[in-house]
Structure 1
Amino acid sequence: MKKILIVEDEAELANNISEILSNLEYHVAGIVDNAASALRFLEDNEVDLVLMDILIHGDLDGIDLAYKIREKYSLPIVFSTAYSGTEYLERISSDIHEGYLLKPFTLDSLKTAVFFGLKRHGEKSSREAKPKGSLKIMDKGYLVPVPHTEIVYLQADGLYTRVFTKAKSYLVRDILKGFEEKLPAEQFLRVHKSYLVNVSFIVSFNAKKINLGDTSIPIRRGLYRELMDKMNV
């Protein structure tokens, strides 16, 4: 029987979800309402899937918690949220989860999300090993391990650096050169004095700029040929 951890700050809803999952023949391993409790629970208990609200109690939201879980555990995560706007859903559209539920959800949608969350994670685990390497970032007093594969680009901002991931951005008190020395050279390229880019997110480029989906970044003079070699063009 698959064991599920529920991370939900609405007690009544959490209990309802627990009852439904039990009726679907899942074992609810525990119910917590904040990141610290979730991490403590995972240290002492085996879990097959985490069903998690994005807005939870405490300083870390569900997205930050997902990063911390993925750093230590190979677990599928299914988010639940009451927000259906495109901008909000894009924020959680990343490799840190296997699905999401829009509140209020039905028994069928919950059943489907959990089933496919477990299935997708199993398929992904069989295809490839879990990516290694992460950047440790202090955010709101907590150390958040951000996988290298989640970082899209970094931008210099005076004595600070803005780190843009697929889910959110962080402002860190360290110069860009410091990050350049920490990140793997085969994956990240200093394309401009103010930008360090994860080359795997480059959609297109020319002699003047790089396109990273909706974001365009200037490139320094003379980099075009080096970038072509890096991209094996």
Structure 2
Amino acid sequence: MEKILIVEDEVELALNIKEIVENFGYEVVGIYSEANSVLAYLDSFKVDLILMDIQIQGNIDGIDLCYKIKDRTNIPIIFLTAYSDQSYLDRISNLVYDGYLLKPFKVESLKTAVYLALKSKPYAISQKDLGKLSLKIRDKGYVVPIPLGDILYLKADGLYTKVFTSAKSYIVRDILKDLQSQLPEELFIRPHKSYLVNIEKISSFNSKELKVSGAIIPIRRGYFKILSEMNQ
């Protein structure tokens, strides 16, 4: 089931959109009203589509948030807005986006826009393919393929990264961000700037930390909500 994120600062409208989208057969994984919460969520979780209001809370509006998201990933984005001013159109003219619906919009118009945006999204890795993937690292002059399912977590260590598996640990001469780009978002989350964690290895968590095979890993502020929604 495709996962959709709603960015809307009017609570009643956001809940209405959620109900409509779920009636289409999609899963709404979250509703956020400001940019930082959206970016924090996307640091750790994959979504298939974002429904984006332009006027949202905070100093970053929906258009600037879209620019930031597109710098990181190619998630399809549909703008839902009551504004059609030339100034807004000029700002989004250089953006890669997948729809622009003016409020109030018809249910069928939203259904069509969502369907077409999802049809154009990049191919996602299947769970079957995930099981075949590995992270290739250098260890004592040899290239070692580590099955992704064996990795517990990765920890930043200056210009290096420590990779922890159930059998042993490795020190890799790459920064965490570079290794993150090699790992599927479906399997690895970043609950703290210094850690990447295999979702399937998390045994428990609270508002301050999570546990992976006996290791205690801190989580950043506000991340408990994201973990809780992921485990619903």
Question: TM-score scaled to structure 1, two decimals?
Answer: 0.50
The structure with higher relative contact order (CA 8 Å, sep 6+) is 2
